[in-house]
Amino acid sequence: MDIPGRNATLTIVMIIAIHNLKGTVAALVVLVTFSTSCLAQQADLRDEGALLEQLAESSPEQAMALDRQLQALWAQSGSASADLLLERGREALDGGDIDAALDHLTALTDHAPEFAEGWHVRASAFFGMERFGMAAADLEHALTLNPNNYQAIYGLGLIFEIIGEPQKAYDAYSRALAIHPHHEEVTNAVNRLKPQIEGAAL
């Protein structure tokens, strides 16, 4: 499924924007895989609501630990087979084998459709293949199941930015920043788009 307008002629500005986002696209895939690579070490999982409240009021240093706890919490499927598929999907993404990752993660979403992280990580595979429509659909599904996942919101913002929807991208980034005010990539994205959005409003 393609995003409407995907086949429209790109302007020079859009080409430059996509070129500048290449590193960000790669970084997103790495971030998704790295952020939960040490989940087994996170034993002290607490209530999601309490963690989110603390994150909103945290210092940058505290936010790092809270982020790790939230990522660990969201990666708990409650099923050994689903956990294995998630692990294999992440390993394939980390190794650059996107096709294998997509196979594992599609099996995961089929096996555990209520597990938000399965959809989130599969979106990363589609994103890495530049299948932005499929990635956006998976991110929206993940956010239906877990609306507080600021990483998924950030990914959706990146897609909006790539396809030339700066206002939607800015709104997504702002939404993510409201949940995680010390998220470096989201902060950079907001600062990158803010002059363009404010200029358009004049």
pLDDT digits (tens, 9 = 90+) for 67-108: 999 999 999 999 999 999 999 999 999 999 999 999 999 999
Mean pLDDT to the nearest integer, 5-9:
36
C-alpha span between 32 and 120 (Å, rounded): 9
The per-residue pLDDT for 162 is 96
Token digits for 124?
A: 């990363």
Give yes or no for residue 46 having a pLDDT over 70.
no
User: What would be the CATH architecture of the domain defined by 12-36+47-201?
Assistant: Alpha Horseshoe (1.25)
C-alpha span between 63 and 67 (Å, rounded): 6
Q: Which residue has the tokens 């005010």?
A: 181
Yes or no: say if 95 and 128 are a contact pair by the CB < 8 Å rule. no
Split at pLDDT 50, 70, 90, the class of 9 is very low
Q: Which helix (H) or strand (E) holds 166?
A: helix 166-179
The per-residue pLDDT for 169 is 98
Percent of the residues in the chain that have a pLDDT greater than 90, as a whole number: 75
Q: What ranges make up the beta strands (E) of 14-166?
A: none
Token digits for 158?
A: 């990146």
- With CA atoms as reference, report the closest residue to 3 among 120, 98, 140: 140
Give yes or no for residue 49 having a pLDDT over 90.
yes
Q: Which helix (H) or strand (E) holds 35?
A: none
The per-residue pLDDT for 20 is 46
pLDDT digits (tens, 9 = 90+) for 157-171: 999 999 999 999 999
Extents of the domains making up the chain: 12-36+47-201
* More reliable by pLDDT, 12 or 168: 168
